[in-house]
Structure 1
Amino acid sequence: MTRADDRQGRIDLEAADWLAAIECGTADRQAFEQWRSGDPAHALAFIRVSQIGRDLDFLREAGLSDKFAAPQAASDQTIASRRKLLALGAAGALAAGLGGLGWTFAAAAHEAETAVGERRRIVVAKGIALELNTDSRVKWRRQGGAYDVELLRGEVMLEREPGGDPCRLHCGQSQIELAAGGRVDARSSARGVDLSVLEGEASLKTPDAIAAVRVPPLRKAKVVAGEPPSLSAISRIEAGTVSAWQQGQLHFNGESLADAVAEYNRYLSRPIEIADPSIRQLRLGGRFSATDPADFCKALNAIYGVSAHFESDRIRLTRS
């Protein structure tokens, strides 16, 4: 074995160790990022074992991966068996091509999140994709031939193409199973969860309902703890309002200024503040950039004579 082969083998083992630790939830993300960014070979090795790891998941789910591990504590056994499987796979793998460069830390860890004002699209598996809105967090896993996606914070758009694997979205204690060809938006808040089925159909299960509820396309379900889900129809215009954030926009259609500002502040590091209570109930409409409220403020001034004062830590709205 040449020195180059020995070095590559060591890097592959390190990458397998990192992936095993990430999937078990024991990895130090900062240390991982330092390792991965320290050498291009590290990043490529991690991409390679991540891809191999997806192909080996069925072995772990079937219990076959235990054959590679000596008896140890449960968490150590999981890491060791996963490491050996990945190392064996990495040894015979071809180097990752450009297509693999989209495989990220989040995909390997089965978890992803966004910062305020950020959007992120992730292909979970063939035929299943999700897009995270501002300040959101999700995690997912493959189990029994299906994918379970859990919304931990914020808002997510989940899409399942025809032919894609079964997919379930979990929001707290509620679960929505998305049919093939479906697209659903889920938004979590302190008041509960809003589910909007924009395409296809879904089946909704909640702890407070006797049976699963069928949710056809262009329907919105409001889920509040302690109450059965309430369904209402939405128009195609309203559906466009729900999904406008995917184009980096906010779409208002008769909302009060107070509600519009609350929606805007989900995306802004410098929040908008209504300094004059008399303007809180002004009604407005239109499409605006979600992360740049300049045009929004100009429209308020032109239509209602509301002035925006851009300060270092906030934007104050007052009547001129």
Structure 2
Amino acid sequence: MKAPPEFESGSAAEPSAGAARRAADALDEAALWLSRLDSGTADPEAFERWRAADPARAIACARVAAAWSALDDTPAVLAAPPHKALSRRAALMSFGGLALAVVGVGVSGKVLAREQAKTGVGERRTIRLGPGARVDLNTDSHVFWRAGPDLVTLWLERGEIAVSAAAGAATVHVRGEGVEWRLAPGRYNARLDDDRLELTTLDGMAESRRPRPVRLTPGKRLILRDGVVSTGEAPGSALARATAWPQGEIVFEDAPLEEAVAEYNRYLERKLTIADPQIAHLRIGGRFTSSDPSDFLAALQAVLPVRAQSSGAGVVLTHAG
């Protein structure tokens, strides 16, 4: 049987040097894998195949995960000054004593990376984050989270969520698009569209850490658009929508038809289309079932000069005159 290259020369020093190189390379690869898992850009199954192929990789993953956990728990006052910052590898090696030392012990991707959940169009889903804390996902939404005994961190990647935390529950932080909020016990709604991030405080208090300190009391709303933060009272229509969607309902209060249709289409596979521009600015109000637009379409045709016609792709709205 041919010996591995580091054993071929017969030198006693070379095996340990080769092993050190492999361990260092495994640390770098593990850090890259876990960073990608953490950001949601890696395939968990591919990671498991990579990790299972070599026990040294499992050990490296455990060391990286332990180092990250230790760094997360280290107070800022203990951090090294910028001019003494360690390289990634040096930082990881300095936490070597925290590593799992049993060869062959598996490390689950769920432990090493954030948990995540998604909903499809028209779906809703509830995730229990721990005792007294939960997040509800609205249609076509995507979140990551990491839950500890005292802190739950949520990352909103897309869509809309309702967050609730009871008194005594773990502290909840919500992050998205460069903004971070610390949520006191209460109920909150967060929504991330393509270019607009919104947080509404239904009850409780939210404190923004980034991009600038802001405190939101009940009934307040923060909006981030194009890097600009604005705060103020949440309109009644926004509060009504935030409390309606977890119940499977959608609410409009004197909304332009084009706005109402865009909002409804978030929940529908078969979309509504306004084919006649002259009806786009007509206004509609009411409370409807988000999963079925039948009542909405009936109301449109009863109170507005609008005709709804089914097509292969959805429903087309035209002027009835």
Shorter-normalised TM range: 0.5 to 0.7
1:28 aligned to which of 42, 45, 53: 45
Counterparts of 1:292 and 1:147, CA distance in 2: 34
**Cα shift readout 1:41-98 (whole Å, capped 9, x = no counterpart):** xxxxxxxxxxxxxxxx99994678723344xxxxxx9xx4536xx9xxxxxxxxxxxx
Q: Contact 2:174 / 2:180 at 8 angstroms: preserved in 1?
A: yes
Question: In the alignment, what sits opposite 1:233?
Answer: 233
Question: In the alignment, what sits opposite 2:194?
Answer: 190
Counterparts of 1:200 and 1:129, CA distance in 2: 15
Matches within 5 A, 1:207-226: 207=211, 209=212, 212-226=213-227
**Cα shift readout 1:286-320 (whole Å, capped 9, x = no counterpart):** 00111111110100111013111011212000112
Greater CA deviation, 139-148 or 274-283? 139-148
TM-aligned CA deviation for residue 27 of structure 1: 2.8
Q: Contact 1:309 / 1:315 at 8 angstroms: preserved in 2?
A: yes
> SS state of the match for residue 181, structure 2?
strand
Question: In the alignment, what sits opposite 2:179?
Answer: 174
Matches within 5 A, 1:243-282: 243-282=243-282
Question: In the alignment, what sits opposite 2:168?
Answer: 163
Closer/same/farther in 2, CA of residues 220 and 267 from structure 1, 3 Å limit: same
Counterparts of 2:202 and 2:241, CA distance in 1: 11
- Structure 1 unaligned runs (5+)? 1-20, 33-56, 71-76, 87-104
Amino acid paired to 1:66: A
Counterparts of 2:316 and 2:227, CA distance in 1: 38
Question: In the alignment, what sits opposite 2:119?
Answer: 114
**Cα shift readout 1:136-161 (whole Å, capped 9, x = no counterpart):** 00001135831110001111111111
Question: In the alignment, what sits opposite 1:205?
Answer: 209
Counterparts of 2:126 and 2:233, CA distance in 1: 27
> How many residues matched?
242
Counterparts of 2:277 and 2:235, CA distance in 1: 32
Larger radius of gyration: 2
Compute the TM-score of the two structures, normalised by the length of structure 1. Answer: 0.68
TM-aligned CA deviation for residue 225 of structure 1: 3.3
Closer/same/farther in 2, CA of residues 316 and 26 from structure 1, 3 Å limit: closer
Closer/same/farther in 2, CA of residues 144 and 126 from structure 1, 3 Å limit: closer
Matches within 5 A, 1:34-183: 61=69, 66-70=99-103, 80=105, 82=107, 110-142=115-147, 145-180=150-185, 182-183=186-187
> SS state of the match for residue 121, structure 2?
coil
Amino acid paired to 1:214: R
Counterparts of 1:174 and 1:60, CA distance in 2: 22
Compute the TM-score of the two structures, normalised by the length of structure 2. Answer: 0.68
Question: In the alignment, what sits opposite 1:312?
Answer: 312
TM-aligned CA deviation for residue 243 of structure 1: 2.1
TM-aligned CA deviation for residue 235 of structure 1: 5.7
> SS state of the match for residue 139, structure 2?
coil
> SS state of the match for residue 100, structure 2?
helix
TM-aligned CA deviation for residue 188 of structure 1: 0.5
Question: In the alignment, what sits opposite 1:14?
Answer: none
TM-aligned CA deviation for residue 226 of structure 1: 2.6
Counterparts of 2:238 and 2:199, CA distance in 1: 13
Closer/same/farther in 2, CA of residues 223 and 319 from structure 1, 3 Å limit: same
TM-aligned CA deviation for residue 240 of structure 1: 2.3
Counterparts of 1:146 and 1:225, CA distance in 2: 29
Q: Contact 1:110 / 1:139 at 8 angstroms: preserved in 2?
A: yes
Q: Contact 1:69 / 1:81 at 8 angstroms: preserved in 2?
A: no
